[in-house]
Amino acid sequence: MADDPSARDERWQIRIRDLHKSFGAQQVLRGVNLDIERGRINIIIGGSGQGKSVLMKHLMGLMAPDRGQIYVDGQDIIGLGDVAIAKIQRKFGMVFQYAALFDSLNVVENIAFPLLERYHLPKQEVLERVRDLLTRLDLAGMSGVEQKFPAELSGGMRKRVGLARALIDRPEILLYDEPTTGLDPIATKNVDEMIRRTADDFGVTSVVISHDMASTFRIGDRIAMLYEGVIVASGERREILAAPNPVLREFVETSGAVHFGGGAS
């Protein structure tokens, strides 16, 4: 980790230092230290209740820590006012666990929603941007897809529409909350490929919260494990597979998808 996290660094886009958060007597984050690499897929793994979702809310400025810092491109976002934090939040796009699409809106309306809420853009410009994303995410070729409602889409398609909505405002950083939850193996593989292609094609920094070990080791450039409120291991895939931490080894190997000394099954 760099000595001065407040200095803009071309490698690390987000730096988290000594982040603490409690809810009453429950300590959720106990001093998280983590660097998120720019333009790569960074995956944070860990069991239920270990603080992954709480950490993600801090990254987006939706929650304030008890103490600690989060630097985004060298700027500490903790304690910023409403206007300043809103500017930082523009750098982020969020892909929710179950896509979180609006049931009463069709595909085009769901994707366009962030633009229509924030800006007064001509409808034709908005439609062109939506259709461009549909093409780039391999949805444009489907008959009548623009007018379909969420209930008419498969799980994998809903994920793609949710991703398009997250990308419509051209963010620098994409956050994914358990993107493969509830999907069958083929759909999971397709979502993994979607995340990989999005990182490559759009040049975004990806932060993925996951407990899917097969997906993690298939697409993750960097992997970190959050356990009992701290990062117990962090590094490239090969570094994680060589890590001696017993908690990490048990968590990864219990999945059956990955074995230390080898790779994904």
Domain assignment of residue 148, given as a range:
103-170
Residue 112 lies in a domain: yes
Q: Which two tokens stand for residue 100?
A: 């979180």
Lowest mean pLDDT across 112-116, 118-122, 242-246, 255-259: 255-259
- Candidates 238, 173, 213; CA nearest to 15 is 173
For the chain, give the percent of residues with pLDDT over 90. 64
Q: What is the mean pLDDT of residues 146-164?
A: 89
List the structure tokens of 249. 């080894």
The three-state (H, E, C) secondary structure of 154-185, written as one string: CHHHHHHHHHHHHHCCCCCEEEEECCCCCCCH
Structural domain includes residue 162: yes
For residue 205, being part of any structural domain is answered with no
pLDDT (average), residues 209-232: 94
Residue 31 or residue 212, greater confidence: 31
The mean per-residue pLDDT over the stretch 208-215 comes to: 92
Q: Does the residue 77 lie in any domain?
A: no
Domain membership of residue 86 (yes or no) is: no
Is residue 94 one of the residues assigned to a domain?
no
Q: Is residue 117 part of a domain?
A: yes
Maximum distance among all alpha carbons in the chain? 56
Of the ranges 2-6, 133-137, 189-193, which one carries the lowest mean pLDDT score? 2-6
Q: Look up the pTM and report it.
A: 0.90
Tally of structural domains, the chain: 1
- pLDDT value, residue 2: 47
Q: What is the mean pLDDT of residues 70-78?
A: 95
pLDDT at 144: 84
Comparing 55-59, 61-65, 182-186, 198-202, the range with the smallest average pLDDT is 182-186
The reply to whether 206 falls in a domain is no
Which band of pLDDT confidence, cut at 50, 70 and 90, is reported for residue 155?
Answer: confident
Q: Measured on CA atoms in the order 98, 104, 109, 115, is the torsion positive or negative?
A: negative
| pLDDT band per the 50, 70, 90 thresholds, residue 91 | very high
